[in-house]
């Protein structure tokens, strides 16, 4: 279950609602997957929520280590959620919405995930610098 709207993680309520819907679509499509252990917020937003200096976040970035989730995102999420386009790459999908961009990255290795303010995110010391 996602807590983005409940915890008001982002100042943009549309971003919170979008991420709640994103999690809902994945959890509905893949009920056997323990989503919170293999999908998390990463990038600049996750680092800032864990105490890094605030700066503008142009994209919301998620990371998964589950190939089923990543395949679902690449093949189905564009049909499940209204968007302005999807670009699929080998280990990244970029989903364009009217007011924001959502990136979903895949890595086969386990992710160091922490629960912070009700949201699962990548441990800030493990965030790939390219995502900051």
* pTM, two decimal places: 0.93
Does residue 18 sit within a domain?
Answer: yes
pLDDT tens, position by position, for the chain (132 residues)?
A: 688 999 899 988 999 999 999 999 999 999 999 999 999 999 999 999 999 988 888 799 999 999 999 999 999 987 788 778 899 999 999 999 888 999 999 999 999 999 998 899 999 999 999 998
Tell me whether residue 109 is in a domain: yes
Residue 41, domain CATH? 3.30.460
| 130 belongs to a structural domain | no
CA torsion angle for 52, 20, 118, 27 (degrees, to 10)? Answer: -120
DSSP per-residue letters across 12-80: -HHHHHHHHHHHHHHHHH-TTS-GGGTEEEEHHHHHHHTTPPP---SEEEEEE--HHHHHHHHHTHHHH
Q: How many structural domains compose the chain?
A: 1
Residue 71's domain comprises 4-124
């Amino acid at each position: 279950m996602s807590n983005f709207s409940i915890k008001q993680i982002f100042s943009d309520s549309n971003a919170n609602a979008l991420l709640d819907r994103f999690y809902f679509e994945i959890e509905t499509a893949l009920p056997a997957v323990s989503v919170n252990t293999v999908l998390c917020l990463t990038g600049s937003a996750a680092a800032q929520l864990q105490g890094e200096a605030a700066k503008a976040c142009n994209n919301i970035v998620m990371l998964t280590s589950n190939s089923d989730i990543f395949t679902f995102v690449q093949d189905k999420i564009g049909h499940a959620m209204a968007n302005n386009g999807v670009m699929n790459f080998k280990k990244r999908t970029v989903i364009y919405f009217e007011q924001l961009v959502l990136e979903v990255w895949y890595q086969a290795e386990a992710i160091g995930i922490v629960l912070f303010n009700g949201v699962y995110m990548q441990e800030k010391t493990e965030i790939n610098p390219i995502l900051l």
